Amino acid sequence: QDFGDKKLEIVGLSATHMGLIHVGFHGQRIAQCSRLTIELQTPMLAQLDGEPFYIPASVVVKVTHSGQVMVLRYNSV
């Protein structure tokens, strides 16, 4: 896993797994890809970068890598 590889990490989580993330649980790895298409038959709740949102039924969601920003990190040695 490389943060700069422009790949999407697809991970499955249940409600129980969401609570276990705080103690180091990482979820079930499903796939790694450069783009993803999801066709929903029923409405669902989803989460992206920690932000929850509602997706209605009969929606096609396409996810791709759009860009990358540099992040500065402060090390206090």
12 strand-pairing partners = 28
Tell me: the pLDDT tens digits for 36-73? 998 989 998 888 788 898 988 888 989 888 877 777 88
pTM, 2 dp: 0.55
Residue type, 27: G
